[in-house]
């Protein structure tokens, strides 16, 4: 049986996106690749809501490569306030520490977000020059309000860095309007391309002072290559993941054709149907309702790992829980990339069946019904439908 991928990353991609990456043998200096790289860099600026005061970067690698590389803009001797709502927020701690960068951490219990009051109090101390936050925390499905946090932070710090790995392309980032200095992401999550590319967008003014650590992980060495790629010229520093960029370019063309706001709304609509469907079936969503994200839904259950195994047999791959405080007691649904209404309905049907089979008290059919109603109502209202 061919399984449907509703993991939290790599996410479900389209046949056309996959084929764009494998249909040709393409060299890194070929016109096809250079055109795809230019289109992807411009697309990256578009989905981030950046203007020409920002520079986009596409590097071989993953989200963690982007995290590590962007830390090169944090000056030695400055102090960072890290807001973390889970495992991927916590990942910044060893990254910054390994480069000798000072930080303090504000963290939240699983399913919750750090409070704006606490952020304000910390920033009021005047100790911080940088703030880092994760837009959608993939380990819990919690979305932080980057608009509200940025508004407070802009008055206190010089640099705001956002992890958009599970959000870029499916949540509003709007970094120029919000005064965000840099956003990082990866090809395989909310954008829905295959894994292999680290994505970064940085304000050009933040590129004037870059730390001297590392060769590969130092943005300084990537500025000229990216400027060249933006002109469709060869910018080789290290071999780019050619096939991934060809796929990514197709994703960005798809997003432009659909419209970014429309794509974000599609994700919101699917997320609402899935979250409400889960609760209607009698299960509980981990994230507090006002923190539900467009891309990841974490579901509490004492049978979580068994449900994930059962769902795999029924044809859908979900993700187990990774937050150390509640691992084994929840699982995660990824609804990003190229998933559509019928994937959401199938996901709920499979979850209801797998959960009932392992003794969870679920109301078979109620989750699917609720989601069906929401999707139908919102389709009528938006005139929208499928991504
Ligand atoms: N940040 C977030 C929010 C993530 O979800 C992930 C991956 N799950 C990462 C960073 C790290 O990305 P990668 O696994 O591609 O290195």
What's the pLDDT band for 2 if we cut at 50, 70, 90?
confident
Nearest-atom index, ligand 1, CA of 9? 8
Q: Give the nearest ligand 1 atom to 62 CA.
A: 15
Q: Show the tokens assigned to 292.
A: 């539900």
Say what the pLDDT of residue 379 is: 81
Written as one string, the DSSP assignment of 211-261 is: ----STT-THHHHHHHHHHHTT----SS---HHHHHHHHHHHHHHHHH-HH
Delineate the domains of the chain, giving CATH numbers in brackets: 4-9+260-382 (3.90.1150.10), 15-258 (3.40.640.10)
Residue (of 304, 303, 295) closest to 275 by Cα position: 295
Number of residues assigned to the chain:
387
Q: Which residues approach ligand 1 with their CB closer than 6 A? A: 9, 62-64, 88, 134, 138, 163, 165-166, 186
The span from the CA of 168 to the CA of 190, in Å, is: 6
How far does the centroid of ligand 1 lie from the alpha carbon of residue 189, in Å?
8
Of 71, 138, 168, 170, the one to substitute when testing ligand 1's pocket (max ligand atoms within 8 A of C-beta) is: 138
Contact 273, 73 (CB under 8 A): no
Q: Which residue minimizes the CA distance to atom 13 of ligand 1?
A: 63
Average pLDDT, the chain: 96
Our mutation pick for probing the ligand 1 site, out of 10, 64, 193, 241, counting the most ligand atoms within 8 A of Cβ, is 64
Residue 386 reports pLDDT greater than 60 = no
Helix 260-280 / helix 242-258 crossing angle, nearest 10 deg: 90
- Using DSSP's 3-state secondary structure scheme, residue 78 falls into coil
pLDDT in tens, 260-312: 999 999 999 999 999 999 999 999 999 999 999 999 999 999 999 999 999 99
- CA–CA distance, 186 with 94 (Å, rounded to integer): 20
79-84/130-134 β-pairing: parallel
What pTM was computed for the model?
A: 0.97
The arithmetic mean of pLDDT across residues 243-252, rounded, is 98
């Amino acid at each position: 049986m061919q399984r449907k991928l509703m993991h939290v990353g790599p996410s479900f991609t389209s046949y056309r996106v996959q084929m764009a990456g494998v249909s040709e043998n393409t060299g890194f200096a070929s016109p096809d690749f250079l055109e795809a790289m230019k289109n992807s860099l411009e697309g990256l600026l578009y989905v981030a809501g950046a203007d020409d005061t920002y520079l986009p970067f596409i590097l071989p690698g993953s989200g963690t490569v982007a995290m590590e590389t962007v830390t090169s803009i944090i000056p030695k001797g400055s102090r960072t306030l890290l807001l973390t709502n889970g495992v991927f927020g916590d990942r910044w701690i060893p990254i910054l520490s390994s480069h000798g960068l000072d930080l303090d951490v504000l963290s939240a219990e699983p399913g919750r977000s750090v409070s704006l009051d606490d952020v304000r109090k910390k920033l009021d101390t005047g100790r911080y020059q940088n703030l880092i936050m994760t837009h959608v925390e993939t380990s819990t499905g919690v979305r932080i309000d980057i608009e509200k946090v940025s508004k407070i932070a802009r008055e206190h710090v010089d640099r705001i860095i956002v992890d958009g790995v599970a959000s870029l392309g499916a949540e509003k980032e709007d970094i120029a309007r919000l005064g965000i200095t840099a956003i990082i992401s990866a090809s395989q999550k909310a954008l829905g391309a295959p894994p292999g590319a680290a994505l970064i967008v940085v304000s050009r003014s933040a590129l004037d002072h870059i730390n001297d650590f590392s060769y590969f992980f130092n943005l300084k060495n990537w500025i000229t290559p990216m400027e060249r790629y933006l002109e469709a010229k060869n910018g080789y520093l290290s071999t780019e993941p050619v096939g991934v960029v060809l796929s990514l370019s197709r994703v960005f063309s798809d997003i432009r054709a659909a419209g970014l706001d429309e794509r974000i709304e599609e994700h919101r609509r699917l997320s609402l149907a899935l979250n409400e469907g889960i609760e209607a079936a009698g299960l509980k969503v981990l994230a507090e309702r006002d923190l539900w994200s467009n891309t990841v839904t974490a579901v509490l259950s004492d049978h979580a790992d068994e449900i994930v195994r059962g769902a795999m047999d029924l044809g859908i791959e979900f993700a187990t829980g990774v937050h150390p405080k509640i691992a084994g007691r929840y699982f995660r649904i990824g609804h990003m990339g190229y998933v559509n209404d019928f994937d959401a309905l199938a996901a709920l049907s499979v979850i209801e069946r797998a959960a009932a089979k392992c003794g969870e008290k679920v109301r078979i059919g109620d989750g699917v019904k609720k989601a069906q109603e929401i999707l139908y109502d919102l389709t009528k209202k938006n005139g929208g439908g499928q991504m």
